[in-house]
Amino acid sequence: MFHYATGKIVIVGDHVLFDGSEGTIEAIYTPLTEDARDYSCYETGGVMINTEQFGLILMTPPDRDQWEDLELQSRAAH
């Protein structure tokens, strides 16, 4: 399970702001799964963000300084 710097849980579909660019959480890769292996984050897992300015970004837990640049703007409507 991944969290924003505020402590809220990251959920697929969340609308976010990453380093000033709007984006959406596209996928969450759980550690030790085939999906995580496919995206080179097998041991740590990761979060795929689709941003307007930077395109697709994969963030993994050691990228803690970058996680502070990731802000939840709103939850996706379900």
**pLDDT tens-digit profile, the chain (78 residues):** 888 888 899 999 999 999 899 999 999 999 999 999 999 999 999 999 999 999 999 998 866 566 788 999 999 876
SS3 at position 37:
helix
Report the predicted TM-score, pTM, of the whole model to 2 decimal places.
Answer: 0.88
Confidence (pLDDT) at 69: 84
Separation between Cα atoms, residue 22 and residue 42, nearest integer Å: 27
Block residue for tokens 């050691």: 62
Query: How far apart are the two ends of the chain, measured CA to CA in Å?
Result: 20
Beta strands in 1-61 (DSSP E): 15-18, 21-29, 46-51, 55-59
Q: Tokens for 42?
A: 């097998």
